[in-house]
Structure formats: structure tokens, C-alpha cells
Structure 1
Amino acid sequence: MTTGAMPGRYDVDGKVALITGAAQGIGRELADVLHARGASVVLVDIDGAGVAAAATALGPRALPLAADVADREAMRQVITDAVDHFGGLNVVVANAGVVPRPATLRTLDGRDFDRVIDINLTGVFNTVRPALDHVVTARGHVVVVSSCAAFAPGMAGAPYMISKAGVEQLGRALRVELSPFGASAGVAYFGIVDTAMTHDTLDGDDLGRALDDLLPWPLNRRITAVQAAQSVADGIERRSPRTIAPATGWSAYALLRGAVNTVLDTRLTRDARVHDLVRAVEARVRS
């Protein structure tokens, strides 16, 4: 059994890092950051052409692998291929995720619910589970990407919040379970990150913009994908149990969420604008 205290800093130079959802957005930027810090990177995405282009841009220390994180057998093969190619695996970042089309739980199609859970939550398990023996051997680090949505209200997008709350608990359990073996895990939380997924959800139509307008500070603060990626990369090098970006506002919310959410939930259930938004979402789904 491998035991012993983990070093205070985890330098990624010379390490091998695997990132899912790496064809664009946060995953793509994180591959750039870790590669620039000396890591070899395995870029995984369902978009094979996208990860191939990203790996080509980075050079020989980048390996593109096309796979759907919801496919358990495919993800086992991804881990095998990554280890065969680079000789080991030190860091895993389970980043792939999707958002559902706006709908209430009453109007949500069950297939849409399953898709979000399969990718955002089960996909994290499918990514992490076959990699853990390698991470333990390397005394490495795992990051699971949750969201500040894990502790924010989820009207019209509950499957996303549900999935990210589950990812948070997976990451917390994993950190404790890896600690006897000199390996570590952390949970990454983001507010609103300026990505194509965000633009499609909040900027694409009147309903999305109405939802964005209802978000109070700090829920409405946006950061770039580069800022999000740097937050994760810095957290890996500190073996942080959690990273939050943007930290201002959200860190306090995370700490005080038990009390804040009681007040916020009450406020939202009494807000006529929220009532109008819910009715509009349901009307559109049923039209």
C-alpha cells in the first residue's frame, strides 16, 4: 500500500494529463495551459475533428482521442490508449458537460433528463473510474468539474443543477478515498463562463436573456474560458480540494449557502418575474 503525505505543490511539468470536453471551451483552454506548463495532454471529446485540430496545434505532446463520455467501454479504451501512448497517467480532468433545453420538470422530456445525467454525472464516473489505478500509482490528482449551479436555484434547468450537485459529491468522496494512497482529488466550481454553451443558453433568445436578467449578483458574473482553465490548472498544482471561479462573491455564497439558499428560494418562489418566466418556458415547450 502506498502511503505518506502529499507534497505541498504538484508540478505538472513532465506529467500526463487527460481532459474530457477538450475540443473547445474550458477543456480546450486547459489543454493549452497545462501543455504550456510542461505537461503532455490527452484531449478527449466526442468531436473527433475538433480534438484532432487542437492536438495538432499543440504538437507531439498532445494526443487526441474521440469518445463519448457516456459510453463506459469507450472511456475504458481511452484510458488504455492514453497510458499505452505516454506510459502513464498522472492527472485526470472530467470536464465534459452539456445543458438541457430550458424546461420545467413538469414539461421536461425524460430523454433530455437522461442525456444530461449520462454526460454530466455518469460521464464523470466513466472517465475517472478506469483511470484511478493509474492515478494512485502516480500519486496524481483528479479534478471533477462541478459548477456553482450545484448550490444555486435551478428553475427551467434543473437537470444541469442536479447533475452538478452529484458531481460535487463524487469529488468529495473521491478526495477522501484517494488520500490513504498519496493521491488527491478536487472539485472545480464555475459561475457563468463565456462559452458557446453559455451563449446558446442565455444569449440565444428572449427566454434565455430573461433568465439571465433574473440572476442576482454574484450569479450573473461572467468569466472567460481562459480564466476558468487557469483556475483549474492552479488548483491542480496546489492539489486544491476545491476551486471557485470567479472567487469574488461565489466563495462567500459557497460558504454560506445553507442560509443564503433558504432566503433565495423563498424570494424566487414569490417573484412575479420568475412566475412569468416559468409560464413562458412551459408554454414554449408545449407549443
Structure 2
Amino acid sequence: MSGTIELAGKVALVTGGARGIGAATVERLRAAGASVAVVDRDFPADPTGTERTLLLVGDVTDPAAMADCVVATIDRFGRIDIVIANAGITPPPATIRSIDRAVFDSVMAVNFGGVLNIVRAAADEIVASGGHILLVSSCAAFTPGMGGSAYMVSKAAVEQLGRALRIELAAVGASAGLAYFGVVDTDLARHTLDDDPIGRRIGGFLPWPLSRRLPSQRAAELLVHAVRTRRARLIAPAVWTPYFWFRGMLNPILERSLVRDRRVAQIIRDLEETHAR
């Protein structure tokens, strides 16, 4: 396993690649000379493709479908050098008491189960090529929050999966890393934090500069660089880095503050009243 990956001539598989960060990442991989298998549940009516692009319709929550996507990629390109597990969803704000259990389970199934499914399906190919797997977690994995526990729990699970995977793959000549993003300016984030009235109130508790939104193109650029350099972790925007390293000290302080904040209590009551109706 070399220290860096020369992307020209390599084969990448990207889940959640039809839109947002995933689509921007696919564009950058292709521009760098890689062939890309793009996995998503559906694609735009007029998807753009090239001879180095394979569009694969598949649900990441289905292990068999992910195995089929891996087989199709190998049939087309002969190998897999890179996997970027990017597919994810964000539910509307809700408390643990009020969220529909099916919604909570669907978030876990996509955000964590989907990552595990593509890792399990592609890991042998990554070991064979001495390649790299990049799992997209979130800064939500290490920050306390309210009204979004399903998302935070799922991303924390991805973090632990990625940390274990990095150790295990290193022993067999491959590598893995994690990407932690704050708020990326995508339709998903805007729907949750801008369009939802209570989501706007929750988002207001994130102070500047932590609330600064990362353009999806910049997120894609960072993801591709992390793959090229086999980064153990990518944290962006960089202002989140101290929070990552000092979370053990900061989180108890923040939790105590949120517990005592009357504005937070009102948001929780409003959320539960909304779901009760």
C-alpha cells in the first residue's frame, strides 16, 4: 500500500452520488481521471455520464443490492480501488419521545446500515487493490443536540465503524478514513435548518463560526483530497477541529448549559406539541 493514491486510472464507487456532495465528488473524481460507479436510489431525468461513469440504481439499506452494485462495477471496470460511503438522510426535527419509530429506524438503516452494507460488499475488493474506503460521518457525531437524535446516533455509529475499519484494513494492506462535516450547504440542510420553523430555532444555537456553511463543491474537493492522501480524518470547516479533539471536556459543559436553557426547553415542548397534533 503506497502512501498516496494516484487517481488517474483508478476505479471509485460512490454511494448517494446523484446529488449534493456525492454528485460534486463524482465530478471531481472523473476530472482527476478516475472511473466512477455512482450508486443512488434514483437519478435526475437527464443524468450526465461518460464512458468512465456507471450509474447504478440501488438502495443502500439492501445488502444484496450493494453486493450487486459491487459486481456490476467489477464487470464494467475490472476492479475497485476507492469507496466513498456518502449516502445519508436527515429527518425532520423531533424528540426521542415523539419521533415515529419507523422514521428513526429508517435514518439508522440508511446512515449507518447503508455504510456497513457497502463496506461489507466492497471490502474484499479494496483489500485486493490496496485501496481506500472513506466513510462520511458528521460533526454531529460528537456534539450534543436536541431534536435530531436519530441523525446524531447514526453518525456516531459511522464514526466508530470507521475507526475500527481503519485499524483492520491497515493490517491487510488497505486503508480507511472518516469525513466529519459541519453544515454543508445542500438541499438536505436547507430543508432541515431553513424551511422548518423549529429547525431554524435549533440551528440558531450553533454559534459563528461553527454555523458557517461549507459549499458542496468545497466538501467534494476535500473528500477527493482525503482519498488521494489516505487521510485518517477530515474535519471541515476546520473550526470544528478543536471541538473534535476536546469533546470530552466541552460536551459536559455544553450539555449542562442546554439543560438549563429555557429557550431549549421551549423548543422541546413545541416539538412535542407539534407531533402530538
Aligned length: 277
2:225 aligned to which of 217, 234, 240: 234
Residue 218 of structure 1: CA displacement?
A: 4.1
Match of 1:70? 61
Gaps spanning 5+ residues in structure 1: where? 1-5
TM-score normalised by the chain length of structure 1: 0.94
1:213 correspondence with 2:204 = yes
1:37 correspondence with 2:24 = no
1:262 correspondence with 2:252 = yes
Match of 1:12? 7
After superposition, where does 1:107-122 map in structure 2 within 5 Å?
107-122=98-113
Residue 53 of structure 1: CA displacement?
A: 3.8
Question: Partner of 1:181: helix, strand, or coil?
Answer: coil
Residue 162 of structure 1: CA displacement?
A: 0.2
Check the 8 A contact 1:9/1:237 in 2, yes or no.
Answer: yes
Check the 8 A contact 2:159/2:178 in 1, yes or no.
Answer: yes
Partner AA of 1:246 in structure 2: P
Superposed CA offset, 1:14-45 (max 9, x none):
10000000110000000001110110011100
2:70 aligned to which of 69, 72, 79: 79
Check the 8 A contact 1:32/1:58 in 2, yes or no.
Answer: no
Partner AA of 1:78 in structure 2: C
2:132 aligned to which of 124, 141, 144: 141
Partner AA of 1:136 in structure 2: V
1:222 correspondence with 2:213 = yes
1:273 correspondence with 2:267 = no
Partner AA of 1:214 in structure 2: F
Superposed CA offset, 1:75-100 (max 9, x none):
11011101111000000011000011
After superposition, where does 1:108-257 map in structure 2 within 5 Å?
108-247=99-238, 249-257=239-247
Percent of aligned pairs with the same amino acid: 48
Check the 8 A contact 2:132/2:174 in 1, yes or no.
Answer: yes
Residue 180 of structure 1: CA displacement?
A: 1.6
Check the 8 A contact 2:63/2:121 in 1, yes or no.
Answer: no
Match of 1:101? 92
Alignment partners' CA distance in 1, 2:195 and 2:61: 27
Check the 8 A contact 2:14/2:22 in 1, yes or no.
Answer: yes
Question: Partner of 2:23: helix, strand, or coil?
Answer: helix
Alignment partners' CA distance in 1, 2:196 and 2:122: 40
Alignment partners' CA distance in 2, 1:15 and 1:154: 39
Match of 1:3? none
Partner AA of 1:258 in structure 2: G
TM-score normalised by the chain length of structure 2: 0.97
Residue 225 of structure 1: CA displacement?
A: 0.6
When the two chains are superposed, the root-mean-square deviation of aligned CA atoms in Å is 1.1
Match of 1:282? 272
Alignment partners' CA distance in 1, 2:29 and 2:164: 25
Residue 272 of structure 1: CA displacement?
A: 1.1
Question: Partner of 1:214: helix, strand, or coil?
Answer: coil
Partner AA of 2:251 in structure 1: N
Alignment partners' CA distance in 2, 1:173 and 1:195: 29
